[in-house]
Structure 1
């Protein structure tokens, strides 16, 4: 950019056309306007007379001035004049352009590319070598300094990624080709602090001048907060009105659209970051259809939360005999199930016919046989329902137990008492769960024991159907597929009559795993998920928050998956065994500070472009020229008409 005092020109070479203005003036002056043709038969009678209003031999000076000014305005306009432009890098040393390329850089990515391309164009015109550091964490090694004309193609092809900006870990290696002094650094920041940013800034300031271009508007991120009542946490760098957060998912016709808009809570500001909690207070039917939450008008992966089972609240139906007195409620199996499931599910209770009408996701039955299929329970399971059953004295004493259809395994009548008053054995403990099963990652407490159980008939399928067993190898929980659905049996009771499992925290965790496996068999990522060996991507986000296929991404090891989104595991949905978990990019954010660097004000425009004003002025001058030419052509009568 050429600076002439407070005026700058983006393409100053066009100004060379101004030298042609004197030539244009002479050409226009030498070309008189077309004479007016008058046809009159008695022209010979006028011979020798003097015309008091002769036709002009030269174009009037004021018309020439209009035309020359119009051409000059066009030349100046196409030269890209800017009033009080921002200072670019000085000439001299090599140029290093650092571009934050994480999700926070996505909202104004095009403007950032334009600014970087302008710096590269200027460096190329001055013959300065340049290097480009895209802070996406995917490139390592030494930064090569090349002719600046070789970098624009790479810069135009670059896109933001769906994880936070990442800088080189080994700064000595990365800056090995950079000069020790005289380095000109242009850092296009996303405005947020990231690990390693301060160290990189210090290393660059030791080598030369660092100019920082912050974003012109604030940043926002969205995070899912797990718990009994899931919510969203909205963080913004602006303390003004909160942006709109909407829930997106398929409508009853399968068309994805906005399903609801959520209302943020009261703001709390700390260190320049404003935080708001957004409760997900929606009906279960609507919540189960949501595929993503997003901040409207914020095109970045950090503004998107992919919904998994932490968001969905399942509907669970309880079917059992609850006829106990008030003083004996601790004897009721349904009491234990209510306490375990009510914080995280919507409970429906009643007869089997009544609860099936409510279209539950899970049906739990305690100590009873299925009274035929007149209520459609078998068809409900075949269509994808999850039936969970608990054993008990009534089931063990029933003579039809061996022919009961809706059981995962065949059972022996009578059961087994291994820790009662009339038995010689001790209560059995619970064995560790398989690392690739439904209860992977859960740890049975040492004091959880089973005194009685219903035994399964030996069969070749018994081992594969057993998902939890006692210390002696007998099944505690079995499971079998039935059509599109599943049938699960706890071989002990849902109350403390046969086991102390229902009064342990493990009971709640096991029920939660089962409930979340209903229908879609989608489970969430929790603290124990590291037991899963690999996670396979099913859907990934780009830096702008747009969903797409996984492409050629490889499965991610559990240790790496627990680190969150990074170059090997972009934000998206992943599967492992029977689990499905979402990696979301949004999370805690912090503002960046730039000690020792030259920071362009984010509230001040980098200069006022005069291009449009000059082109408009040229159009007005050309219009005035047209009116003046018409005035001269029509003579005195045209002057009166005008």
Structure 2
């Protein structure tokens, strides 16, 4: 039981209080001040004037004031003290001292040492042996010895940046006593529970004659237990021991040089032991955080170290398609974006042209670049991406139709890929969807359980090589790689052999996908250690900088062992791995004192087999009132002096100062006339032409520079425009010829490009603009006008060779002739072929999933968007071209007006498909709707 004691250090001085009545009598009988007569003849005048009178004795309240002043001086000399140390050691056995020297004792360690030293002095005075054990020391010894030896050990002891191991300390103390019953067992505790919290019962089990619990300022202990770099701020969590009153803590983030760069607050409500607060700062500034500390506290628990794993990565996203607005769930980047958003800052380009977008993204210094279904990059971007990789960047690629059709010698893939893709029910296919196999031990996914229910329907295949297994992070049950990797300089290339959306596999809609991306992102440390959370097996990390009990990093690393990182989070501190940084200057991993989301609790004092005494440390329980009493006496003396001066009339002779106040009010009337409303003219040259293109649908063609080819293209689109106006509700405007190097392409849903081998080869800038146009959702209709029978076949015509040269620099998906069940055959007219001036060439479009993957009753098969490319050799424009009177300019081959009619119908179907997409495919729902309406 604790109690409040009171005593006087010099009690004999209190005898002076008996003199107070004498002082009272003397003050009351003080004679009045004598009256002096200046000139006796003026006695008459003196009688007329008011005579100044002097009281015969002092007022009672003034006497009481002086009595209080005298009493305060006497009591101050007597030195009253609250809670003086009066306890003495038991003489029934040796003194056993168990002293906490963990992280929470750093603030009051000197008082703890003084308290323990006072107990050792008393034991020495009584000639008692002493057993001393320090709970946080790695080497513990509690052998009974002399007080001198215990005092020397205590002087050398220091607080440690660790959590005390009291269970081990009690065992050491029991061994040191060797069966001897202690007379006094004093436990200098920090007040914080550890482990199973049975220390008080364990100490009572030693059967001491007297058990004393001496506590310091542990009730004020606060520890930081976690930090999460969120989207807009760093969230820091903390736990406190005493949750009685509300408390607000100021926290500060420091950079590697110790400079404060951000501030925040953690607010605890009444009864709250755990709380969190935000450190708002820009993304770049948060990545410079090296440690977080609580203002006013200097302990290992109030300091939280950050390493590269806490930095929020900047991830750049690129996609081969633009479906985010119309069909976001089918966008290659939708699930990637959702998976990375909680722990990465995502950036996307403002330009669809990769030749412009990639340099812009790399200028923002991302840690990672993700490319979803991009098969071919502009040629001029490869050096920049390669240099970025060699400097430490990480490139993650996801498969898709474009990557499946990309060249096999792509330098930005980790393994050599087979041409085409493996699909369920197709060539190189399996009979049923494949599940995932266990992750290899060297994979960063090691430690994750093998996902259940995740299957793969399509994938791109890797060519077998001797090192393929070493480059594989994840594979399917049949052994084919699912995730492969390759290092390039200081960087890394990672390839997911499935698409980033759920058409090829249901992996992107699983929780394992999020964890796989998170672990991969953690590897994108710029020059960091490939260890940390989730990394696979790696070499042990030597101690680089260790933190002392005051929360300061030092170069003293003696006694610490190398840190071995395995799957999962970084372990909390231990005697073998004290808190600090492990690794090297190039990269390190932070080990913090507290486990994530730990809670501070008070020591359990219930269910003890014996009573114990509770007391405070030296300097905390003994409170002397001497300074306060002396201060009170001085204040009373000053008050008495003022009263005496007032009674003597000293203040009445002072002249009253004149109070003069001069108030100057300056009113300046400014009447400003309201200006006339002026509207800014923000129009620019060429806006009229742009508005003219936007007010209606226009067919467009590429100007090749050959007058005859361009004339046929223009007249062909005029003919198709007139046919659309006559046969459909669409009334397009006049056709537009386009210069690929400078005209805006996004105004047109489809661009007709007649290929001519004799025309100048388009510049790389023009090809990049066409690639960006197709990537943004536009479609280019290439017409070689040579009735080719197969794309890239032997004996190709010059126009086909020119087309191959153009397509070599474009990122295009795999192609196929229009299937009979494609929406293009049903978008307006029912067609089986797409003739032009010639009728022998098929119309090539983006390859779509096999019909077996869809419902057999579906009337039309389509993809989830319009094809970005069409290729024909049937010379559409030659069949559509008309003169000023509407007569055909060129005959069909063979001459057949029915073929021309079908050529126009093919043009109508293409335009309706471009403007409406695959809405015809939704006719599959019509029978069910009609049946429901009939009910």
What is the TM-score with the length of structure 1 in the denominator? 0.73
| Cα deviation code 1:576-603 (max 9, x no counterpart) | 9x99463333731112365632222579
Change in Cα spacing, 1:557 to 1:183, as seen in structure 2 (3 Å) is farther
Distance in structure 2 (CA, Å) of the matches to 1:118 and 1:604: 12
CA contact (8 A) 1:481 1:487 kept: yes
Q: Which runs of 5+ in 1 are unaligned?
A: 9-80, 614-642
Does residue 122 in structure 1 map to residue 131 in structure 2?
Answer: no
**Offset at residue 171 of structure 1 (A):** 4.8
Greater RCO (CA < 8 Å, at least 6 residues apart): 1
**Offset at residue 448 of structure 1 (A):** 1.5
Which runs of structure 2 are paired with 1:93-172 in the superposition (5 Å)?
Answer: 93-136=93-136, 138-139=138-139, 143-169=142-168, 171=170
Distance in structure 1 (CA, Å) of the matches to 2:577 and 2:285: 30
**Offset at residue 263 of structure 1 (A):** 2.0
CA contact (8 A) 1:293 1:306 kept: yes
| Cα deviation code 1:64-109 (max 9, x no counterpart) | xxxxxxxxxxxxxxxxx99974135336231112211211111111
- Provide the secondary structure at the position in 1 that maps to 2:514: helix
Determine which of 492, 508, 512 is the counterpart of 1:506.
512
CA contact (8 A) 1:249 1:290 kept: yes
Which runs of structure 2 are paired with 1:214-229 in the superposition (5 Å)?
Answer: 214-216=215-217, 218-224=220-226
Change in Cα spacing, 1:518 to 1:135, as seen in structure 2 (3 Å) is same
Distance in structure 2 (CA, Å) of the matches to 1:241 and 1:388: 46
Determine which of 458, 476, 490 is the counterpart of 1:484.
490
Determine which of 379, 383, 394 is the counterpart of 1:372.
379
CA contact (8 A) 2:112 2:618 kept: no
- Provide the secondary structure at the position in 2 that maps to 1:168: helix
Does residue 553 in structure 1 map to residue 560 in structure 2?
Answer: yes
Determine which of 556, 559, 574 is the counterpart of 1:566.
574
Partner of 1:334: 333
Distance in structure 2 (CA, Å) of the matches to 1:409 and 1:590: 54
**Offset at residue 358 of structure 1 (A):** 2.1
**Offset at residue 392 of structure 1 (A):** 1.3
- Provide the secondary structure at the position in 1 that maps to 2:328: helix
Distance in structure 2 (CA, Å) of the matches to 1:607 and 1:406: 74
**Offset at residue 525 of structure 1 (A):** 6.1
- Provide the secondary structure at the position in 1 that maps to 2:327: helix
Partner of 1:212: 213
| Cα deviation code 1:110-153 (max 9, x no counterpart) | 2211221232233223321101121126346x731111111122
CA contact (8 A) 2:121 2:147 kept: yes
Distance in structure 2 (CA, Å) of the matches to 1:182 and 1:552: 33
Determine which of 383, 390, 404 is the counterpart of 1:396.
404
- Provide the secondary structure at the position in 2 that maps to 1:333: coil
Partner of 1:438: 444
Partner of 1:627: none
| Cα deviation code 1:482-524 (max 9, x no counterpart) | 2221111112211122222111111111111111111245578
- Provide the secondary structure at the position in 2 that maps to 1:269: coil
Change in Cα spacing, 1:160 to 1:171, as seen in structure 2 (3 Å) is closer
Measured on the aligned residues, the alpha-carbon RMSD in Å equals 3.7
Change in Cα spacing, 1:433 to 1:261, as seen in structure 2 (3 Å) is same
CA contact (8 A) 1:530 1:562 kept: no
Moved more, 289-298 or 549-558: 549-558
Distance in structure 1 (CA, Å) of the matches to 2:118 and 2:83: 17
Partner of 1:582: 591
Partner of 1:470: 476
Change in Cα spacing, 1:84 to 1:431, as seen in structure 2 (3 Å) is closer
In our comparison, the structure showing a higher alpha carbon Rg is 2
Partner of 1:244: 250
Moved more, 148-157 or 177-186: 177-186
| Cα deviation code 1:390-434 (max 9, x no counterpart) | 121112223xx2222222222222233355599453222222112
Which runs of structure 2 are paired with 1:12-23 in the superposition (5 Å)?
Answer: none
CA contact (8 A) 2:444 2:536 kept: no
- Provide the secondary structure at the position in 1 that maps to 2:255: strand
CA contact (8 A) 2:224 2:239 kept: yes
Distance in structure 1 (CA, Å) of the matches to 2:397 and 2:536: 29
Change in Cα spacing, 1:385 to 1:468, as seen in structure 2 (3 Å) is same
CA contact (8 A) 1:290 1:307 kept: yes
Moved more, 548-557 or 383-392: 548-557
- Provide the secondary structure at the position in 2 that maps to 1:155: helix
**Offset at residue 277 of structure 1 (A):** 1.2
Distance in structure 2 (CA, Å) of the matches to 1:610 and 1:422: 93
Partner of 1:188: 188
Distance in structure 2 (CA, Å) of the matches to 1:504 and 1:301: 39
CA contact (8 A) 1:284 1:312 kept: no
Distance in structure 2 (CA, Å) of the matches to 1:335 and 1:524: 29
| Cα deviation code 1:516-547 (max 9, x no counterpart) | 11124557866x78988977644432322222
CA contact (8 A) 2:213 2:615 kept: yes
| Cα deviation code 1:27-58 (max 9, x no counterpart) | xxxxxxxxxxxxxxxxxxxxxxxxxxxxxxxx
CA contact (8 A) 1:430 1:469 kept: yes
Determine which of 233, 236, 239 is the counterpart of 1:232.
236
CA contact (8 A) 2:262 2:280 kept: no
| Cα deviation code 1:137-194 (max 9, x no counterpart) | 6346x73111111112211221222222221348577325267656112322212223
CA contact (8 A) 1:308 1:524 kept: no
Moved more, 97-106 or 188-197: 188-197
Does residue 345 in structure 1 map to residue 344 in structure 2?
Answer: yes
**Offset at residue 213 of structure 1 (A):** 2.5
**Offset at residue 303 of structure 1 (A):** 0.8
Change in Cα spacing, 1:139 to 1:274, as seen in structure 2 (3 Å) is same
CA contact (8 A) 1:523 1:581 kept: no
Q: Which runs of 5+ in 2 are unaligned?
A: 1-6, 11-79, 350-356, 629-935
CA contact (8 A) 1:168 1:174 kept: no
CA contact (8 A) 1:453 1:492 kept: yes
**Offset at residue 363 of structure 1 (A):** 0.8
Distance in structure 2 (CA, Å) of the matches to 1:82 and 1:268: 35
CA contact (8 A) 2:198 2:604 kept: no
**Offset at residue 308 of structure 1 (A):** 3.8
Does residue 592 in structure 1 map to residue 590 in structure 2?
Answer: no
Determine which of 203, 206, 209 is the counterpart of 2:205.
203
CA contact (8 A) 2:240 2:599 kept: no
What is the TM-score with the length of structure 2 in the denominator? 0.51
CA contact (8 A) 2:320 2:402 kept: no
**Offset at residue 322 of structure 1 (A):** 3.8
Which runs of structure 2 are paired with 1:252-401 in the superposition (5 Å)?
Answer: 255-265=257-267, 267-270=268-271, 274-308=273-307, 311-324=310-323, 326-350=325-349, 351-368=357-374, 369-374=376-381, 376-398=384-406, 401=407
CA contact (8 A) 1:94 1:184 kept: yes
Change in Cα spacing, 1:170 to 1:609, as seen in structure 2 (3 Å) is closer
Change in Cα spacing, 1:172 to 1:152, as seen in structure 2 (3 Å) is closer
Partner of 1:41: none
Distance in structure 1 (CA, Å) of the matches to 2:560 and 2:248: 36
Change in Cα spacing, 1:436 to 1:457, as seen in structure 2 (3 Å) is closer
